[in-house]
Amino acid sequence: MSSELLDVTGAVGNRLAAPAAGARSAGNTGGGTANTGVQVANVSKSFGPEGAKTLVLDDVSLSIHAGEFVSVIGPSGCGKSTLLKVIAGLSDADDGAVTIDGKTVASATKGKMIGLVPQSPALLPWRTVLENVTLPITVNPKANAGRTLRDPQEILESFGLGHAINKYPSQLSGGMQQRAAIARAFVFDPSVLLMDEPFSALDEMNRDQQRLGLLDFWQTNRKTVLFVTHSVPEAIMLSDRIIVMAAHPGRIADVIDVDLPRPRDADVYATDEFRDLEGAVRTSLQSVMEKKYV
Ligand SMILES: Nc1ncnc2c1ncn2[C@@H]1O[C@H](COP(=O)(O)OP(=O)(O)OP(=O)(O)O)[C@@H](O)[C@H]1O
Ligand SMILES: [Mg+2]
């Protein structure tokens, strides 16, 4: 199964414009489905040969409401990427079910309802930024007939890349490449974004800038988001809820509500509420690491 590759961000101050007239602002619902978000019900997944299987996801259930931003945090190897891949339809669960706005994953991927933002931007080096972003809609024009599409150039401008549309990825900084990859994802205006540590390769300053840009973008352009990160401040700044996973086997250990008011900006870092949440998430992570769940 395939899913659109995309990547997330928006430079600080660069708001992604609202979808063009005629586009569905709630995202591409793939033909009249209700925007019910992402439902993961009792998903289990093992790897390895018969008789020597390792349980990687153990009865994972979660619900992400339409327009909600949920982060997943947890130790390396606890199954965060595996969970994302199952939701994206890139990997099949052994048990359980996933629905996207009431549709099966297969149907949702076919309807271009899911955007997956990988850890690295995955831009084609021999294509310009504009060509990279335009690619998804030119690959199969027949299948895309009738779909809500957004203008690649307009999206790139919204992400602060108007000056770079004719450059090649190697001529862009890491943060700019991430923004281009995110822009690419948005040509189909997906209703659900799955992001796997999209900023992990960036240095802290650049990372914070991209994070705030993403926040700015998402606040004006709500999507249902599942965001994997190793950064506690990042999870708090962006999310409505944080899911803490434990390893061996991968499972949900804790869910922490982030009730900081929105819209948020960099000033939030300095608030007592932010620090309290940081303490709560770190304590939860510590407990997960100590328990080992064997
Ligand atoms: N295709 C695969 N075949 C076999 N084992 C796999 C496969 N994919 C993942 N695993 C194993 O499943 C476990 C979870 O991997 P996963 O990549 O989901 O972890 P993660 O939480 O994303 O880790 P990280 O934070 O390091 O990215 C690991 O032990 C990994 O080795
Ligand atoms: Mg991972």
171-213: per-residue pLDDT in tens?
Answer: 999 888 988 887 887 888 889 999 999 888 888 888 898 888 8
End-to-end CA distance of the chain, in Å? 33
- Within 8 A by CB and 6+ apart from 275, the residues are none
Q: What is the pLDDT of residue 293?
A: 52
Pick the CATH number of 4-35+64-90+104-243+253-291 from 3.30.2130.10, 1.20.1630.10, 3.40.50.300, 3.40.47.10: 3.40.50.300
pLDDT at residue 25 greater than cutoff 70: no
Q: Which atom of ligand 1 is nearest to the CA of 119?
A: 27
Ligand 1 centroid–CA 147 distance in Å is 34
Q: What is the pLDDT of residue 160?
A: 82
Q: Which atom of ligand 1 is nearest to the CA of 75?
A: 25
Q: Which atom of ligand 1 is nearest to the CA of 250?
A: 14
Q: Residue 113 to residues 82, 135, 201: CA-CA distances in angstroms?
A: 19, 17, 26
Q: How far, in Å, CA of 226 to CA of 52, rounded?
A: 31
Q: Which atom of ligand 1 is nearest to the CA of 91?
A: 1
Ligand 1 mutation target, pool 44, 45, 58, 82, most atoms within 8 A of CB: 82
> What average pLDDT does the chain have?
85
Ligand 1 centroid–CA 79 distance in Å is 6
pLDDT at residue 2 greater than cutoff 70: no
User: Residue 98 in contact with residue 192, Cβ under 8 Å?
Assistant: no
| Average pLDDT score over residue span 112-132 | 89
Report residue 20's pLDDT band, with 50, 70 and 90 as the boundaries.
very low
**CA-proximal residue: ligand 1, atom 18 (nearest):** 79
Q: What is the pLDDT of residue 33?
A: 53
pLDDT top residue among 216 and 12: 216
Q: What is the pLDDT of residue 24?
A: 34
List all residues whose CB is within 6 A of at least one atom of ligand 1.
47, 56, 76-82
pLDDT at residue 281 greater than cutoff 90: yes
77-98 residues labelled b (16+ CB within 10 A) or e (exposed) = ebbbbbbbbbbbbbbebeebeb
Per residue in 222-279, pLDDT tens? 899 999 999 999 999 999 999 999 999 999 999 999 999 999 999 999 999 999 999 9
**CA-proximal residue: ligand 1, atom 8 (nearest):** 82
**CA-proximal residue: ligand 1, atom 12 (nearest):** 56
Supply the Cα-derived Rg of the chain in whole angstroms: 18
Phi, psi of 197 (to 5 degrees): 45, 55
Q: What is the pLDDT of residue 150?
A: 84
Ligand 1 mutation target, pool 58, 60, 80, most atoms within 8 A of CB: 80
Q: What is the pLDDT of residue 292?
A: 59
pLDDT at residue 26 greater than cutoff 70: no
Beta strands in the chain (DSSP E): 4-5, 38-47, 54-64, 69-73, 95-100, 103-104, 114-117, 192-196, 224-228, 241-246, 251-257
Q: Which atom of ligand 1 is nearest to the CA of 228?
A: 22
Q: Which atom of ligand 1 is nearest to the CA of 79?
A: 18
**CA-proximal residue: ligand 1, atom 9 (nearest):** 82
Residue 154: both structure tokens together: 């307009």
Q: Residue 63 to residues 57, 122, 138: CA-CA distances in angstroms?
A: 16, 29, 34
pLDDT at residue 15 greater than cutoff 50: no
Ligand 1 mutation target, pool 45, 50, 53, 56, most atoms within 8 A of CB: 56
Ligand 1 centroid–CA 119 distance in Å is 14
Q: Point out the ligand nearest to the CA of residue 244.
A: 1
Burial class (CB in 10 A: 0-12, 13-18, 19+), 131: middle
Per residue in 34-48, pLDDT tens? 688 999 999 999 999
Q: What is the pLDDT of residue 272?
A: 98
**CA-proximal residue: ligand 1, atom 13 (nearest):** 77
